[in-house]
Chains A and B, each alone.
Chain A
Amino acid sequence: DVKVTQSSRYLVKRTGEKVFLECVQDMDHENMFWYRQDPGLGLRLIYFSYDVKMKEKGDIPEGYSVSREKKERFSLILESASTNQTSMYLCASSLSSTSWTGELFFGEGSRLTVL
């Protein structure tokens, strides 16, 4: 089974802190994604990556950056956390576009609280 592991289930940070959210997948998937999930807003795409060292902005990239130095790892970075970034963050992975069956594999999520 595909496993997508997010390093922290719960984090509490202070305004202005730099925050790293780590995600690792073990199925050699080309594509990786970061979403945030908020009540009433569903899932919104922050950034995604189709290959190592490649990244593309999603719908709400402001205040975030990402890093993909290895194929299996995709990190989300909040350079200076703000209270409006309090949310559930979901990482996902999938096969490449040419092989994709429509399924994204999600981690369990990281709930971030910014005080």
Chain B
Amino acid sequence: GDSVTQMEGPVTLSEEAFLTINCTYTATGYPSLFWYVQYPGEGLQLLLKATKADDKGSNKGFEATYRKETTSFHLEKGSVQVSDSAVYFCALSGGATNKLIFGTGTLLAVQP
């Protein structure tokens, strides 16, 4: 079945460092891909999305490109801030339903 694999955390970075969180997927058909973020004590919220191959989703300085050839959707940010500390989830959807399949999540800790 469809699945999402994320790099394990925690990822610990200093402020202003470059961030990459890897995400690869397995799916039949052509899924849409998402990154959700969960700040401490909060529910998940959509960070960005891409609905077809070569699309780039972006929001709040984060970017991810839908790479069909490598079945990947890696999350990047050029300069992280302490306020970016959170758990990041990669997810996919496909087919006729709007269920999401989530990865295991990656904890990002940014130190001042």
Chain A interface (Cβ < 8 Å from any Cβ of B): 4, 31, 33, 35, 40-45, 48, 58, 90, 92, 94-95, 97, 100, 102-104, 106-109
Would B102 and A42 count as touching, CB distance under 8 A?
yes
Residue B45, interface by CB 8 Å: yes
In the complex, the chain A residue whose C-beta lies closest to that of B105 is A42
Would B43 and A90 count as touching, CB distance under 8 A?
yes
Which residues of the other chain, A, contact B99 by a CB distance below 8 angstroms? 33, 45, 48, 58
Residue B100, interface by CB 8 Å: yes
Would A102 and B93 count as touching, CB distance under 8 A?
yes
Query: Given A43-B89, A97-B98, A100-B98, does the pair A109, B103 have CB atoms closer than 8 Å?
Result: no
Residue B73, interface by CB 8 Å: no
Q: Give how many B residues have a beta carbon under 8 Å from the other chain's beta carbons.
A: 22
Would A42 and B103 count as touching, CB distance under 8 A?
yes
In the complex, the chain A residue whose C-beta lies closest to that of B34 is A102
Would B32 and A107 count as touching, CB distance under 8 A?
no
Q: Which of B32, B42, B44, B98 has the most CB of A within 10 A?
A: B98
Which residues of the other chain, A, contact B45 by a CB distance below 8 angstroms? 106
Residue B51, interface by CB 8 Å: yes
Which applies to chain B's interface (DSSP): helix, strand, loop or mixed? loop
Would B104 and A42 count as touching, CB distance under 8 A?
yes
Residue B112, interface by CB 8 Å: no
In the complex, the chain B residue whose C-beta lies closest to that of A90 is B43
Residue B77, interface by CB 8 Å: no
Q: Which of B36, B51, B103, B105 has the most CB of A within 10 A?
A: B105
Would A102 and B104 count as touching, CB distance under 8 A?
no
Cα separation A4 to B6 with both chains bound (whole Å): 27
Could you list 13 A-B pairs, sorted by A, with CB under 8 Å? A41-B104, A42-B89, A42-B103, A42-B104, A43-B102, A58-B99, A90-B44, A97-B97, A97-B98, A102-B32, A103-B46, A104-B98, A108-B41
Cα separation A58 to B99 with both chains bound (whole Å): 9
Cα separation A104 to B102 with both chains bound (whole Å): 12
Which residues of the other chain, B, contact A102 by a CB distance below 8 angstroms? 32, 34, 46, 49, 51, 93, 98
